[in-house]
Structure 1
Amino acid sequence: MDILRTPDECFENLPDFDFAPHYKTVDDTEGGQLRVHYLDEGPSDASPILVMHGEPTWCYLYRHMIPLFTAAGHRVVAPDLVGFGRSDKPTKRTDYTYQRHVDWMTDWLQQVDLTNITLVCQDWGGLIGLRLVAAMPERFARIVVANTALPTGDQPMGKAFEGWREFSQSTPVFNTGKIVYGGTTSKLTEAEIAAYDAPFPDESFKEGARQFPMLVPASPDDPAAQPNRDAWKVLMGLDIPVLTAFGSDDKIMAGVDKVFQKLMPGATGQPHTILEGGNHFLQEDVGPELAQVALDLIART
């Protein structure tokens, strides 16, 4: 598997991002290796909060939440998915599959060896993170589900998602920073937009970001449809606490929170919330509020 690795200098002097990088090497599933980057902040002996980003962001998305978690005494671990951030970027679109993303992050999580995890997941952070929960439920203590889903292709994805997928494949320049800007209500500064562009010096680094929308199971016979159905069978039998916190302005994920509230036993009786002013990237719009939701869940459970 051929890979690209974003030069370190691309990540210098990013606003509000004074965190030390950490790395693990995972099996690329073809006999080679991929380097996965992650942040690891706070006391090493504290129970971890695992925050997982989605498309087309990276762990920079959680920069305003991490200090709130560590100030409360928690350890925070924030990986970059393969193809994003400081993690390695395979060069071919076909290198990226849903199952490989799950396999890569499973390998990483087992190496970091986190247990008693509070998972905070958004966008593809949920599509992958919830698969990790289903595969290794003994490692997870609670889940905060934020603007994400675990689709099986058995229900239509909706016009907003279809429009996004069409745009992602047809736009000549996949402008990551502007895409994130468009998914916020409060809007980003030029320096923050540049920080979201930082992992991608040119279009050749964006094959993973381009491919992600095509990996969402949108039909019942999608390769990931049955694995996600199998994951749901596990999730529907778990009693670990589950709390939904969705953004009020997110049109793509609107209403999906009800699916988790209905199907996951641990969601019963939880104070599920809609965070006013939060768009798809609610970590940017209402990051402190989302952090407090997670902290309150930990304190209660």
Structure 2
Amino acid sequence: MEDLNSILQNLIDEIVKNFSFFIPYDALAHENTQRILNFYNLKVTDEIIDNYIDKLLYFDEDLKIKVLESYDIVVGYNALKASKLDNNCFQLVHLKDTKGKATFKLIFTKYIEQVVIYSTLCDMLIGAFYESYSDTTKNPTFLFEQQKKILQKHLNDIESNIGVKGGNINEDEIIGKLINSSVAKPYIKEQSDTPVNFVNNEAKSDAKKPVVIKPFREFIVHKNNIEIEEIIKKHFSDHKGISLRYLIEYLKERRVLLLIHGDQTKIHSSFKALFETEDIGALSSIFGVKVFNADINYLKSKDVFGRVLDKLTSFEEKE
């Protein structure tokens, strides 16, 4: 009889194969990422940074990470992935009918968690691309959107055929679960001497630079930056996700908020510090969406922002 671990791993492998992604450099310095890497005594070598960070990557059929040279590689395999995941759904139905309830629950729970992880990761990748420019000549977010649709359809098929919903996962848990699964997988350990994987840090760890959060007022290019910061904290500290993006767009439109490339992660952290909460929405929920001037919700939000912020008499005057 086939080992249950092998059954589960074969199912999960079909999720991972030909999955495209990239690792933004900014993510390496994130406090949560550093904490997880330290927990596993792992480090990212300079060679990995030079060859793989901020480049579009994918898992090939042998589950090795490679630099993606052409979008056609993944686009061509996505149709195959959809077919493979359909087969996974049939296998899960078969396992439900042939295995004991406890055994099936164990396999299903671990499998569905991986589907949800990679589905959520697609959303994170879309948001991260707008934050950290990868070394590609085209916008790759359509690949992540395509992957998301395939995985979401798979979740819907599972719910329809097995009667169990996929569930949700906190985005802050994604990195930890991915690293944990990578450390535990034999094929990752066997490849530990290649530059594509995280490697154990046997030597003395390099001193980690402390994460410095830039005060929100320092993003404001206006003589009343402190007053503007105080008003935003007082009146809009309950904003999160798209509503926070509306506020950012409004301030940019009024030419009092200056963001340059690489600032999105920084201002995301600044808002958390200013509002004294982590609950402001994931980076992708703020910057992974487009805001149009004709958006009725944005127009309504602008009216609210204006009524509050116009109390600063020289609000429109730059210093």
- Which of the five TM-score ranges fits, normalised by the shorter chain? under 0.3
| Richer in helix (by share) | 2
| Richer in strand (by share) | 1
Q: Normalising by the residue count of structure 1, what TM-score does the alignment of the two structures yield?
A: 0.24
Structure possessing the higher radius of gyration over alpha carbons: 2
